[in-house]
Structure 1
Amino acid sequence: MAVEPNTLIENQAITIVNVAVAVIHYQDQYLLGFRAASQHQGNRYEFVGGKIDAHESATQALIREVAEETGINIASNIAVKLGRLHHDYGDKQVCLQVYRIEITAQQYAQYKNLSHGLEGQKLTWVDKEKLLAGAYDLPAANKTILAWLQLSTQISITYPLAHFDEYPNPVTAWLQYHQEHLKADAWVYIRIKKAEAEDSIKQLLHLRPDIQAIVPDGSSTNDLDNAAINNQIVAEHLTQTQLVQWSNGVVENNLPYFCLSSSLPLIVSCHDKESIDAANQLAQSRFLHQMPPVIGIFLAPVECTQTHPDTPPLGWQAWSKLAELADMPVIGLGGLSPMMYQQAMLHGAVAVAGIRQFLK
């Protein structure tokens, strides 16, 4: 991703360089380049990409840059937007428009031994686990991309505790049901909506040490302080109401909302343009404060749901237009099943989520 400085200064304003970034992979093998010492951010690995020309869209720039740098033709591959990153290196400001592209088995077979690009740069295929573990030194702006790549393509959501109110002991019934019905190694948004939330979350994580949990904002910093449990918690969740309150400057306990979840990444819920704008503001604020990023938004509802039957669905066309506004990965939610992931991906989703269809 060779991007040369473009620092024309007019009225003290530095021109922002728009860059298309291609996160190219085949299954768990990811393609990285290596920047020469003489280059900006030299002696570091990077994803393939480059500057978007004035006449190009981001996807057009991706196709051109990948072909020029590697020879791989991705014109027929699906490019899924992960997000946009605004970064100030001090000597240069960039806006990275990041897309994930999975190449075919035939393309991988042809290029898996590629050691140098067409411009002479070093290229290497790396294992996803090592990449996410930080084994490869990337520019600072790329580290949020690694957090985005940790998202599972399927996220299960638990029933609220009220769903089990007819049982003699709703908490026990809730725990037993989800212990039995959550799929192995699932990412799970534990959504309880009751005062007993933290204790129930703690018990479920003990019963299912294989799952990765998204918990309500603030839960992990209070009672869920066991090291083994915290390793299972991958993100905290903000409702749209909390997001809007933060955006409107509402504070609780003299702390703005973005400070309440400083130790973990966030996933937020959005339903419209205004909430997506607020999510973008929150993501940038956390980035500037060097806090863990917003790694995704639940955008809902795509289709009608049993949980909220009176809420009009967005439909895929309107959903896709809203998803394009987000500066972070977008998760489809509402009336979906795991089998709809490919359809969701074609409309810009990096993952799908739900309750009934995502439990065994």
Structure 2
Amino acid sequence: MSATMIHVAVGVIRRNGRVLIARRPDHLHQGGLLEFPGGKVEPGESVQAALVREIREETGLGIVGSELRPLIGIRHDYGDKCVFLDVWETFISEGEPEGREGQLVEWREPSKLVDRDFPAANRPIIRALNLPRRYAITGKAHSPADYLKVLKKSLPVSGDRLCLLRAPELSHEQYQQFVAESVRPDDWNRGVQWMLHGDESWLQAFPDSAGLHMPWREAQKHRARPVDDRYLLAVSCHNEQEIRHAIRIGADFITLGPVKSTDSHPDTEPMGPETFRQMVAGAPVVVFGLGGLGAEDQNEIVACGAQGIAGISYWWR
């Protein structure tokens, strides 16, 4: 018999660039590990109401339900119990936190959160906190020089800080040239996390990159995580089977689409927002919506439970 799913509301409370975390009491399930505050959603209770209640009871902080925004939803089977972590975030809170149940509470920078200090189900939350709402993907150009020219013009204007260097029109040698010129530190690309496109050999050539984005044709070759944990691993997915495989090989985030009709794949049937929402709900991983999406679609995609949007046309000029 399958275990009952426990609906848990989780609050990510941000203040001055940090987030509130607590240490679970030793006698509880997963005791001694860190967690984000929250608790079980009672029958007939909304997630927002549960968070307002639980965070007040646990930490003394006051938050407003209408200021909460969805961050990510995670279904996880611990073996002895199954949980659905319904994670919402807010930038507005009143008071100073205290551990009203005897737990230690503190503010930490998201970049300082370490996977092993948290229950296994929390890893996607940590990824979501450290990833932006937009994932820029390079479009088409004729040569490495042309790619670099458009990149230098477009990226500073868009303000994006996570960028996939994708250039299927270029040869292996040309792509290597394009990447080398792009990732070289300069004023125009300060703070950008560069994702490389293809197989794991690219990280050996450019070890200072943020990570690797595998197209499905590459990802399906693997049965375990193909890159070191210090790198981000992304996978292009289009259906539930591909999502499951991406999770199996340890993807940190995925792109999922096409959500809407797109000029780059005119013969591909879009899944539509509702199917996208359902797939995101069943994916315990950070998801970026892809395909026919512009900046004006970001709020709708986030409301579907995704991290945000990925794309070309909204920024590539």
The TM-score, its normalising length taken from structure 1, stands at: 0.70
- The question of 1:129 aligning with 2:111 is answered yes
1:20 aligns with 8
Identity %: 24
1:190 aligns with 165
2:240 aligns with 276
Q: Distance in 2 between matches of 1:41 and 1:260?
A: 29
Deviations 1:227-284 (A, max 9, x none): xx43332x322323445xx3xxxx4xxxx3545345533222223xxx223322441x
Bigger-Rg structure (1/2) = 1
Q: Distance in 1 between matches of 2:109 and 2:3?
A: 36
Q: Is the 8 A contact 1:74 1:103 kept in 2?
A: no
Offset, 1:176: 2.1
Q: Distance in 1 between matches of 2:310 and 2:133?
A: 8
1:336 aligns with 293
Of the three residues 84, 91, 102, the one matched with 2:74 is 84
Q: Is the 8 A contact 2:290 2:310 kept in 1?
A: yes
The TM-score, its normalising length taken from structure 2, stands at: 0.78
Q: What residue identity is the alignment partner of 1:82?
A: I
Q: Is the 8 A contact 1:80 1:348 kept in 2?
A: yes
Q: What residue identity is the alignment partner of 2:99?
A: H
Offset, 1:47: 0.9
Aligned length: 306
Q: What residue identity is the alignment partner of 1:125?
A: W
Of the three residues 184, 206, 212, the one matched with 1:206 is 184
What secondary structure is seen at the aligned counterpart in 2 of 1:304? coil
What secondary structure is seen at the aligned counterpart in 2 of 1:345? helix
What secondary structure is seen at the aligned counterpart in 2 of 1:231? coil
Deviations 1:46-79 (A, max 9, x none): 1113346687787776566445434645543444
Q: Distance in 2 between matches of 1:83 and 1:294?
A: 16
2:149 aligns with 176
2:209 aligns with 232
Q: What residue identity is the alignment partner of 2:138?
A: T
Q: Is the 8 A contact 1:151 1:295 kept in 2?
A: no
Q: Is the 8 A contact 1:156 1:358 kept in 2?
A: yes
- The question of 1:308 aligning with 2:268 is answered no
Q: Distance in 2 between matches of 1:306 and 1:338?
A: 16
Given the superposition, is the C-alpha separation of residues 359 and 115 from structure 1 closer, same or farther in structure 2, using an over 3 Å criterion?
farther
Offset, 1:346: 2.0
What secondary structure is seen at the aligned counterpart in 1 of 2:240? helix
Q: Distance in 1 between matches of 2:66 and 2:180?
A: 46
Structure 1: give runs of 5+ residues left out of the alignment.
Answer: 1-12, 165-169, 287-292
Q: Distance in 1 between matches of 2:271 and 2:243?
A: 19
Deviations 1:135-161 (A, max 9, x none): 99434543443233222111111014x
Structure 2: give runs of 5+ residues left out of the alignment.
Answer: none
2:28 aligns with 39
Q: What residue identity is the alignment partner of 2:196?
A: V
Q: Distance in 2 between matches of 1:60 and 1:277?
A: 35
Q: Is the 8 A contact 1:78 1:346 kept in 2?
A: no
Q: What residue identity is the alignment partner of 2:166?
A: R
1:260 aligns with 226
